[in-house]
Amino acid sequence: MTIAAHVKGSDLDENIACNFGMPHPEGYRKFIRAAKQAEKFGRPIITFIDTPGAYPGAEAEERGQGEAIARCLFELSGLAVPTIAIITGEGGSGGALALGLADRVIMLEYAVYSVLSPEGFATILWKDAKRAGEASDVMKLTARDLLGFGMIDEIVKEPLNGAHTDPATTIEALRPTIRAALSELQNKETATLLQERYEKYRKFR
């Protein structure tokens, strides 16, 4: 299988080196190449999503950030192999969506998935970033909210203090969920897989 993931780092130095998990256009284009190679050799694709969003700097925009994200969505929508997306922490905006168009979308229990951060939402709507808590309630960005809306397919329980405090336990919790999803998806004919993926995303409003 082919695995792609956002990397944030575990301390400040790693955060800076990893650009706080915010990819440049080149990162998304690298993912597209890997995804197309996976399709060529019939390998399923699993993505692990943890990003506040794509890098918003001027240089990223100059190199086609929006086009790179759109191309990811275009390619993922038509890949003839099973795709699974797992939101492990922060799923922010198009930066997360670029890796999130999948046959099965799974979220860890305490993860969030939204069009932008609560601080950004509060700033735009109320001109006051301090109302981020209120914005979080309005945005309905939790795993439980999104499962209720049908935006994701399954929630995986985390250790009490979050996945980052006990990665080994989190991995073991994810393992059967991934195996079950792969087993189900790999037993589908390609035409069925593509049609179900099309219907899954067409029904979103």
Express each pLDDT in 33-83 by its tens digit: 999 999 999 999 999 999 988 888 999 999 999 999 999 999 999 999 999
CA distance linking residue 26 with residue 60, whole number of Å: 9
- Residue 13 structure tokens: 């130095």
Q: Taking the mean position of all CA atoms in its chain, how far away is CA 49?
A: 4
Q: Is 76 helix (H, G, I), strand (E, B) or coil?
A: helix
Percent of the chain with pLDDT over 90: 67
CA distance linking residue 110 with residue 89, whole number of Å: 7
All domains in the chain, ordered by first residue: 2-202 (3.90.226.10)
Max Cα–Cα distance, the chain, nearest Å: 51
- Residue 104 structure tokens: 């099965």
Which H or E run contains 194? Answer: helix 190-202
List pLDDT tens digits, range 111-131. Answer: 999 988 888 889 998 999 889
Q: In this structure, which amino acid lies at residue 49? A: I
Asked whether 96 and 4 are in contact (CB, 8 A), the reply is no
What pLDDT is recorded for position 51?
A: 92
CA distance linking residue 130 with residue 134, whole number of Å: 9
